Amino acid sequence: MRLLSRSARQQGWGGHEVLLRLIQGVPFLIVLFGLAIELSPGHMMYTGPLLTAMPALASLTMGPKGILAAAAGALAVTLISANLHGAWHGEQVYGNLLGLLVVSVASFTTSNSMQARRQGELDQIRRIAAAAQSVLLHPVPARLGPLRAASMYLAAESGAQIGGDLYEAVQTRYGVRMIVGDVRGKGLPAVRSAAAVLGAFREAAHYDEDLREVMNHCAAALRRESAAEEAAGGGPEGECFVTALVAQVPDGSVVEVVNRGHPPPMVLRRGRAQALVPDSPQPPLGLEDLMTGPPAEPECYPFLPGDRLLLHTDGVIEARNRDNDFFALPEHMESVRHARTPREFLDQLHRSLIVHTEDRLVDDVAMVAVDRIA
């Protein structure tokens, strides 16, 4: 659904990385330019004052190592120039060396101070995010009736631990009920929408027998949240919608699913992974105007003892590597052969995902894995 925008973000990330590399190379290009001037037969300009500024210029885009490298390059050219032109008896070369030393020390000290301050701010943000996550997205219980369960959340937002994906699993009188969803957008509006949907699910899951009604309560909560955001003038641009999937594991050996525009869950049975694709696709929450009829009945699929069920967001299947290849979820699920518990299973999937993307996620990732043991 957001494939094009994520591809554009990946291309944008690559373009910004190239631009940053070019900017970081400017001080060293100037040092090389100064060296070329000093070595040229028609040497007419002394480059010492220009080279003195190179550590300060490097400090704008690089850390202490970059500053030291720029200072070393400027010092080398200054010394070469002094030797070539016999300037050791003049005051200018010593003034330039002193200026280079002062600028280098000041740039190095300032860079370290700014880096320590940024790290402190980032640590504070992470502590706040961890506290918010414990309320909004706490880990699912390790045991839910006939199921063993585990959950995992990976936020793509730099310095954050929560985003626009959501999940939950609760044991009710109707069986174990689970939800996984993906909010359109990023930042605080996405977190608020996720909180609204999760709050509605946690309430309705215990009181509504019909799984469709549980999903309807989530849709109503999203509409109220969107209306409140719009009234406050802080709503996101464009339509607000959430792809969501609600699953129920009753006493029988089945799993019932209501899917509203979300990637289908995967079942791993006897080493083979299979997607539970809905027969009647439905639009995401918030896009009910696109429905052509009443909500479809929950669809039932076999879920036998020994089976493993994976609910996930599209941040998993749309994760790409540098060659723009998608993460092959079925193949990776089938390759995880020695994970005895859902937690070990998710940990191994996590490692595979990090290797595939080189630890550069462009979208949030949420996963819930459950094993049927009885």
Exposed, middle or buried: residue 233 (CB in 10 Å: 0-12, 13-18, 19+)?
A: exposed
The highest-level CATH class for domain 138-372 is alpha beta
Q: Contact 229/195 with Cβ under 8 angstroms?
A: no
The chain-wide mean pLDDT, for the chain, equals 82
372 pLDDT band (50/70/90 cuts)? Answer: very high
Q: Which residue has the tokens 């699913």?
A: 257
Residues 66-106 pLDDT 10s: 888 888 887 887 777 777 665 555 566 667 778 778 888 88
More confident residue, 74 or 134: 74
298 pLDDT band (50/70/90 cuts)? Answer: very high
Instruction: Inform me whether the pLDDT recorded for 172 exceeds 70.
Output: yes
Exposure class string for 312-342: b at 16+ Cβ within 10 A, else e: bbbbbbbbbeeeeeebebeebbeebeebeeb
Instruction: Indicate the Cα dihedral angle 240, 122, 134, 207, nearest 10°.
Output: -10
Q: How far apart are CA 197 and CA 79, in angstroms?
A: 67
**Considering only 79-83, 105-109, 154-158, 276-280, which range has the smallest mean pLDDT?**
154-158
Tell me the average pLDDT across 157-163.
Answer: 55
Residues 234-256 pLDDT 10s: 555 456 799 999 999 998 899 99
Q: How far apart are CA 328 and CA 324, in angstroms?
A: 12
Domain coordinates in residue numbering, the chain: 3-128, 138-372
The set of residues, in sequence order, having a beta carbon less than 8 Å from that of 292 and lying 6+ positions away, is none
User: Could you tell me the CA-to-CA distances from 56 to 18, 75, 94, 99, 295 in Å, in that order?
Assistant: 22, 14, 19, 11, 63
Instruction: Inform me whether the pLDDT recorded for 285 exceeds 70.
Output: yes
State pTM to two decimals: 0.69
